[in-house]
Amino acid sequence: MRAENNWLHLYVNNLINSTLALKYLKQHSIGLCLILMNTLKQPLFTQPRDAITSWITLPSISQLSLLILLFVSSGCAQQRILDDQSQNNWINGVISYQTRLPSGHHDQISSLMEISPQMRSEVNQRFGHLLKGRAAIELAEWLIDEDGHDMQYDIEANHAPIQAYESGKGNCLSFTMLLAALAEELDIEIKFNAVDIPNTWGMDEDLGMVFYRHVNGVMLHHNRRQIFDLAMELYDSGYPQKFISRDEGIALLLNNRAIAAQSNGKYIEALHNLKVAVSLSPKNPDLWANLGVVLKRLEKYERAELSFSYAFDLDNYNIPATSNLERLYRERGKNSKALAFKKRADRARQTNPYFHYQLAMDDFREVKLRSAQRSIDKALLLHAKDPRFHELKSRISQRQHKYGSAIKSLSRAYALASSEEQQGKYLTKVDLVTKHATQEYERRMRLRNQTYEARQSLLRNISR
């Protein structure tokens, strides 16, 4: 029995030192458990230490602990590998979701950007004979002109081109998709331009989702940018913006559809739309975060956590990802993780200039002028190209009777204005500030003269 014991431990030693150790432990887990149970009933090592390898010279309890540790850890590692593989398979499945839709499905890209024969015929008949630059401008004007197609703005009209054309309604994104599809018939490229309108930043607090992105069309022609927008009054060149691909634009439309479905309790429809959206724009963290919200509503908590985490991996400063992870962990009693993501969400907000702008607006309304001044200065430090920031700083300065600073801020707003109408507005405000400054100067001079006269009168009375 002693010889068998020694042989067993020498064998295990050689097995551990081999490159096949973990594989063997996984494949022979039951047999090794029986061997360990049997070994516990026997004395472990009786041969002299110099006759056994250095591994065997450890105390017997350590040898046994090491073997058990290797056995257990191999099982844990195997489980982690399986879990990771399952997660990767699910993520890859979402990313490839759109490509697995059946041919002719209404959410295929070709279907989403399709135009009818009637639309094709009309656009070619009306604008096909014009030069490209002029054709694009007249096409856009005809679509929105009341004597033309008379298309109306509707923020909830998340329509594909055919539906937008037939209903005569659309939001900025659906209008851009329609214009791009029609312009393509004239061999004109309309780029999708994603604009972060301040009042659409952040999340719908009830849904926990990013609910809208403003997208307009841009034509680059002879080194000039021609902007096409169904709601031009919402647009300003100072807003953060960037070109996105056609697929990314379609993904935002499907995202909006998903949020509308989610709001109406149609969770399966919302899930489908977001999976298509994510597969068209897999590097957009907002879409992954929104997908997580729908999965959470369907009580698929592990998948929801995976979606939020993937969004966070794409962008560590993504507020929807960090906020939803904080909320998920708090609701499930994981308070330390919840606190960590709350801190991350707070830090992410600090990088958003419009967060500070909103704080400045709130403080200004409550006449907390010093706090408002600090917040607007932070906003300008992060993003100095929005004329409204300078306008608000001017208003704060006026309340503080710093009229020189107020006029300087309005001058900067004027320089950043994207239209003559805006420039005129800022010039009018400069005139008003100048008038107020003059009135304030005259008021102070009158007060000063009154004070001087009162003092002189008092001195005369005393001298008598």
User: What are the backbone dihedrals phi and psi of residue 303, each rounded to the nearest 5 degrees, phi first?
Assistant: -70, -35
Q: How far apart are CA 296 and CA 305, in angstroms?
A: 8
* Least confident residue range of 61-65, 156-160, 251-255, 430-434: 61-65
Average pLDDT over residues 264-275: 96
Q: How far apart are CA 223 and CA 216, in angstroms?
A: 18
Domains of the chain by residue range? 2-95, 109-282, 353-458
Average pLDDT over residues 350-363: 89
Whether the predicted pLDDT of 47 surpasses 90: no
Q: What is the structure's pLDDT at 202?
A: 42
Task: Indicate the pLDDT class of residue 333, thresholds 50, 70 and 90.
Answer: very high
Whether the predicted pLDDT of 208 surpasses 70: no
Q: How far apart are CA 52 and CA 2, in angstroms?
A: 13
Average pLDDT over residues 139-159: 94
**Closest Cα to residue 433, out of 461, 454, 405, 460?**
405
Where residue 190 falls (left for φ over 0; alpha for ψ -120 to 50; beta otherwise) is beta
Average pLDDT over residues 405-417: 91
Whether the predicted pLDDT of 184 surpasses 60: yes
Q: What is the structure's pLDDT at 78?
A: 54
CATH code of 353-458, in short, is 1.25.40.10
* Least confident residue range of 30-39, 279-288, 339-348: 30-39
**Cβ proximity of 241 and 194 under 8 Å:** yes
The span from the first CA to the last CA of the chain, in angstroms, equals: 130
CB-count burial class (<10 Å; 0-12, 13-18, 19+) for 252: buried
Residue % of the chain over a pLDDT of 70: 79
Other beta carbons less than 10 A from residue 185's beta carbon: 17
Q: What is the structure's pLDDT at 430?
A: 87
Average pLDDT over residues 364-377: 94
Q: How confident is the prediction for the chain on average, in pLDDT?
A: 81
Q: What is the structure's pLDDT at 176?
A: 97
| Long-range contacts at 206-209 (CB < 8 A, ≥ 24 apart) | 207/259, 207/262, 207/263, 207/293, 208/293, 208/320, 208/323, 208/324, 208/327, 209/259, 209/262, 209/289, 209/290, 209/293, 209/320
Architecture, CATH, for domain 109-282: Roll (3.10)
**Cβ proximity of 290 and 258 under 8 Å:** yes
Whether the predicted pLDDT of 142 surpasses 90: yes
Whether the predicted pLDDT of 312 surpasses 80: yes
